[in-house]
Structure 1
Amino acid sequence: MQVYCVGGAVRDELLGRAVKDHDYVVVGATPEQMTALGYRPVGKDFPVFLHPKTQEEYALARTERKTAKGYKGFQVYAAPEVTLEQDLARRDLTINAIARDSEGALIDPYRGVDDLRARILRHVGPAFVEDPVRILRLARFAARFADFTVAAETQALMREMVENGEVDALIPERVWQELAKGLMEARPSRMFEVLRQCGALKKILPEVDRLFGVPQPPLYHPEVDTGVHVMLVVDYAAAQNFDLPVRFAALMHDLGKGTTPAEMLPRHIGHEQRGVGLVKDVCKRLRVPNDCRDVAVITANFHGKAYRALEMRPDTVVQLLHDTDALRQPQRFEAFLQACESDVRGRPGFETRAFPEADYLRRALAAAQAIDAGAIAGQFDQAEKIRDAVFRARVDAVAQMPANS
């Protein structure tokens, strides 16, 4: 029985990055032997055990054989005779197929160390084409390691997978899981760049893919291209360390521009309303969690109004607070404002542009929240009159705010 540290822990250690979790491969053991040593079995599809003290994962060396389309279409074989090299061969990228033995020596049959030095994302072998999730994983690693490039032969394999329909077999939950992880990396735009280059973005997120090449007025958008703009917006949100709902809203906020009639270009009148339905379609298709969906929907619908907040009448401002449900969900409203900030500053030369409208809306929300709706309700006996009176009180409170905080 031999134990090897494998995968991300070895890779990140070699890159000088912080190591969060360790994974181990056990060669030459049976499940019965692992259990006898006190390891607790937790694997459903293949033998994985938790160490009795550290609770770290130890998996028996295994091979995989493709039996059907999709990422679950594999037959797994785990036995004492499976070698470390055979186990490493089933992994996705060479940089993830490096092992370290108990003495600290590296085992690197697929030259992952060379690819780490050269900053290259390269598939281990031809079996890469058998699992469509590997396209998403590679794209996610591109977002994490922004200075790595994708090997030409790996690009060709990914295009082949897309053309052969492997990507069509991906289940929504797994697509969302990988997209969410990629959005939380340092440079999310790299994930979408890689997916677009191999044709997978058109399959997974056609609503985003069609934004590339769509022009915008250069006065407000020096980058002109809508797809480029959205990538800048997502990267700004990442640079500010905003939460996942904000980053997803940044990705979704301009979907309506992909459906602007050609005769209207480069203007996009009404793109906000057109985008709402598209955002809802994406969220339903990928089964996006409610918190991400809700921020994305209100951002798509109301980001244009947020930018005009200083020009609005107090009643229009209060109506915006009501429409976004800001009084009941102030944290979600803050996420909306962060997504709007990312939109404003996700443009070349606009990165440090002032955005006083956000602070004004925050103060307006605080003024509206300060109104005692319960006290007002006690003065009326009809729900409609109560609503009108509370609304007017909030409008008055916003109107009386000082011009500057």
Structure 2
Amino acid sequence: MKAIIDIKPDPRLDGLDVYVVGGAVRDALLGLPCGDRDWVVVGSTPEALQARGFVAVGADFPVFLHPQTKEEFALARTERKSGRGYKGFTFYAGTDVTLEQDLARRDLTINAMAQSPDGVVVDPYGGQQDLQQSVLRHVGVAFGEDPVRILRLARFTARFTQFNVAPETMALCRQMVEQGEVDHLVPERVWQEIVRGLRAEKPARMFEVLRACGALPVIMPSLVYDEELGAQLDEVRRILSPDLPAIYALLLHRTSDRDALSRRIRATTECAQWARLLPQILTEMAQTHLAYPCDEQTVHQLLSLIEKADGFRRVDRFLDLISLAAWLRGQAAQPWISALEAAREVDAGAIASGLQGQGGPAIAQAVRQARLAAISQQMSSIPAHESNQ
């Protein structure tokens, strides 16, 4: 039998009952790059692994790093619900725990497969069949004990866009929400999964699953989300290929208390800033009525937007924000890009040198006036038909 994952001989593994498990097996069966490999060791002990040079890293359960490859090797274990939320579990990793018992605690059937070093695929819960049928199905009752698995399930739909959630799995997710399990999610884990979903091919699918099972208003209670926003999330991934802060800002651009929501889910400072700035830019753009040549009010509006978005110091961010906002409004970004280019040509240092002794406010005002003049000249030289391209 040809192994789906090539496992090279390793003297440190001789005599151990070891298996590659989880996502690497799934991705190999799908013909995708395997990425990082996780291993399970059956019938061994922490002392035995450490004697072979493995380094213990797990605080809650026995996980070890291979001394050369740095891959993770975990002892086969079972887990039992002992409290609410993500950390409400106790683990047992005795030598009598079987591979099938270890796989039974995993979330989805497509993640509950293993491969031995000699190429044998162990699939006790029908993962290969669900792969063939493009179904995301929970392995067993253990799924319902960990609310993070709802987030992971939703995120997988954003990544594996041809897969759909099994009806019984969706029903279990709704039951978990009703029983209050989702209330105990740790914000850092929520953010971690949201980030992965936003970076996936079709982010909207993640939020559609969360909304369908009732988890979205618990996780992100003030988020204003509908099918139109979902379509925008997916389309912007295809058209602009934005970085995380941009697509996060798009997700929140209809939500009023963006700062509070960002704090709630522990969004990064950069993402929170983008989410704050995008609606401001959209409002400024809506209030700027471009005509060529530009009148004085329009020139002031163009410079004001650059200043409010810190465009002179954060040029790349400003350009990306303007591009995103213009895309949302269905108009050209070029007028604001041209205004920034013209204003940046002003030599603020030379102006400051020429006004030595007059104080900071006088210098700042002179620089601003020079920038207004530069923008006015630049915008007057743009033919109207080119400004809309």
Q: What is the TM-score when the length of structure 2 is the normalising length?
A: 0.89
In the aligned structure 1, how far is the partner of 2:288 from the partner of 2:38? 51
Q: Secondary structure at the match of 1:207?
A: coil
Q: Which deviates the most, 298-307 or 121-130? A: 298-307
Supply the RMSD in Å over aligned alpha carbons: 1.5
Q: Secondary structure at the match of 1:186?
A: coil
**1:325 matches 2:310:** yes
Cα deviation code 1:231-289 (max 9, x no counterpart) = 1221122223211001101101122xxxxxxxxxxxxxxxxxxx3xx111111111210
Equivalent residue for 2:371? 394
Equivalent residue for 2:28? 13
**1:334 matches 2:315:** no
In the aligned structure 2, how far is the partner of 1:157 from the partner of 1:136? 13
In the aligned structure 2, how far is the partner of 1:127 from the partner of 1:109? 15
Unpaired stretches in structure 2, ≥5 consecutive residues: 1-15, 291-296
Equivalent residue for 2:105? 90
Give the C-alpha shift of residue 331 in structure 1. Answer: 2.1
Does the aligned pair in 2 maintain the 1:249–1:339 contact within 8 Å?
A: no
Equivalent residue for 2:360? 383
Does the aligned pair in 2 maintain the 1:94–1:115 contact within 8 Å?
A: yes
Q: Secondary structure at the match of 1:242?
A: coil
Q: Bigger radius of gyration, 1 or 2?
A: 2
Does the aligned pair in 2 maintain the 1:247–1:339 contact within 8 Å?
A: no
Equivalent residue for 2:198? 183
Give the C-alpha shift of residue 342 in structure 1. Answer: 4.7
Shift in alpha-carbon separation, 1:119–1:342, aligned structure 2, 3 A: farther
**1:65 matches 2:80:** yes
| Aligned AA (1:283) | S
| Aligned AA (1:367) | A
**1:297 matches 2:312:** no
| Aligned AA (1:317) | L
Give the C-alpha shift of residue 308 in structure 1. Answer: 5.8
**1:371 matches 2:350:** no
| Aligned AA (2:322) | L
Give the C-alpha shift of residue 305 in structure 1. Answer: 2.4
Give the C-alpha shift of residue 143 in structure 1. Answer: 0.4
Q: Secondary structure at the match of 1:400?
A: helix
In the aligned structure 2, how far is the partner of 1:27 from the partner of 1:306? 61
Q: Which deviates the most, 324-333 or 137-146? A: 324-333
In the aligned structure 1, how far is the partner of 2:236 from the partner of 2:288? 21
Does the aligned pair in 1 maintain the 2:281–2:322 contact within 8 Å?
A: no
Cα deviation code 1:322-367 (max 9, x no counterpart) = 01111111122123124324524xxxxxxxx6x42x1221221121
Match of 1:81 among 80, 96, 99: 96
Q: What is the number of residues matched between the two proteins? A: 358
Does the aligned pair in 2 maintain the 1:245–1:335 contact within 8 Å?
A: no
Question: Equivalent pairs: percent with the same residue?
Answer: 48
| Aligned AA (1:47) | P
| Aligned AA (2:248) | F
Give the C-alpha shift of residue 53 in structure 1. Answer: 1.7
Match of 2:265 among 268, 277, 286: 286
Matches within 5 A, 1:93-108: 93-108=108-123
Equivalent residue for 1:236? 235
Equivalent residue for 2:146? 131
Q: Secondary structure at the match of 2:107?
A: coil
